[in-house]
């Protein structure tokens, strides 16, 4: 089971998934949590093909004004956990107010742990030149000279999933979604189990994703995770 040091960094025990600490830029961290926070997790997906290690490295840079996003951890497809923000500090992963642990709060960030999972997110199923079905990540289409994706230009081959990964795509509620690996779900489960015991979280507090707090702006962690994977994580993390 993971432990945390006095600075808020995770330390795995024997048999736990590996943790790599990649501290985010100071402007991507908020103040220290006020007790009794953090009260719950918020699940996200990265919504890009960028590997978790590179996504964590990106957060080490000084962001543009107004774009200081971060999360506490990113869970890679290989099961490695990259920690960017200490567990005793606020991360910038969800805007505005909402219901956290059964209470309305003015700032979701101020009382939650942001858990990102490396995942392309929503997919489009588009036939290729040989009319074989293929899956593409956002923004799906080739870009014009101004950098804008245009359906008329056809799907962008750089955004196409390879056949093995495409075979893991899930159709849930009319939305194709990228799949998750066994290693990744195992790491997310081990992480939630440890965090729940550290902070006294209840199961009913731990089932929310980004879309629950910003439905007009965000769709992550997408229907496949919410319907097919999150219940499994919760069952295992709260089995005892």
pLDDT of residue 105: 97
Measured distance CA(138)–CA(58) in Å, rounded: 19
Burial pattern 57-78, b for ≥16 Cβ within 10 A else e, equals ebbeeebeeeebbbbbbbbbbe
Mode of pairing for the β-strands spanning 81-83 and 19-21: parallel
pLDDT of residue 128: 78
- Report the alpha-carbon angle 13-16-17, nearest 5: 130
Measured distance CA(108)–CA(91) in Å, rounded: 10
Cβ contact 170:179 at 8 Å: yes
pLDDT of residue 74: 98
Find the radius of gyration of the CA atoms of the chain.
18
Q: How far is CA 213 from CA 97, 191, 220, in A?
A: 8, 22, 10
Task: Enter the tokens of residue 55.
Answer: 């996504």
Instruction: Determine the distance from the C-alpha atom of residue 165 to the mean position of all C-alpha atoms in its chain, rounded to a whole number.
Output: 18
pLDDT of residue 50: 96
**Strand, coil or helix: what is 52?**
helix
pLDDT of residue 66: 83
pLDDT of residue 131: 82
pLDDT of residue 6: 96
pLDDT of residue 25: 97
Task: Enter the tokens of residue 121.
Answer: 């997110």
Domains of the chain and CATH, by start: 3-119+180-237 (3.40.80.10), 122-174 (no CATH)
Q: What is the 3-state secondary structure (H, E, C) of 128-159?
A: CCCCCEEEEECCCECECCCCCECHHHCECHHH
- Write the CB contacts of 27 (distance below 8 Å, at least 6 apart in sequence): 62, 63, 68
Find the helix packing angle between 182-199 and 230-237, rounded to 10°.
Answer: 50
H or E, element range at 232:
helix 230-237
Measured distance CA(84)–CA(21) in Å, rounded: 6
Taking the chain (240 residues) in runs of 10, the rounded mean pLDDT of each run is 97 96 97 95 97 97 90 98 98 96 97 98 90 92 96 94 95 97 98 98 98 97 98 94
pLDDT of residue 164: 95
pLDDT of residue 148: 96
């Amino acid at each position: 089971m993971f432990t945390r040091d006095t600075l808020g960094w995770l330390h795995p025990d024997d048999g736990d998934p590996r943790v790599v600490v990649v501290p985010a830029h100071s402007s991507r961290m908020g103040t220290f949590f006020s007790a009794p926070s953090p009260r719950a997790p918020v699940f996200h997906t990265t919504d890009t093909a960028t590997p978790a290690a590179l996504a964590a490295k990106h957060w080490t840079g000084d962001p543009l004004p107004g774009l200081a996003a971060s999360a506490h951890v990113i869970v890679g497809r290989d099961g490695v956990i990259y920690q960017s923000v200490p567990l005793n500090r606020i991360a910038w992963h969800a805007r505005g107010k909402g219901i956290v642990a059964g209470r309305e709060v003015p700032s979701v960030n101020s009382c939650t742990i942001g858990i990102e999972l490396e995942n392309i997110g929503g997919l489009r199923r588009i036939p290729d030149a040989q009319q074989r079905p293929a899956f593409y990540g956002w923004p799906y289409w080739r870009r014009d000279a101004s950098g804008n994706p245009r359906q008329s230009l056809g799907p962008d081959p750089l955004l196409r999933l390879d056949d093995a990964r495409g075979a893991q795509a899930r159709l849930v509620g009319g939305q194709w979604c990228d799949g998750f690996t066994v290693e990744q779900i195992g790491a997310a489960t081990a992480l939630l189990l440890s965090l729940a015991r550290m902070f006294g979280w209840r199961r009913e507090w731990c089932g929310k994703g980004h879309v629950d707090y910003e439905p007009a702006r965000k769709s992550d962690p997408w229907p496949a995770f919410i319907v097919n994977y999150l219940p499994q994580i919760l069952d295992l993390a709260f089995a005892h």
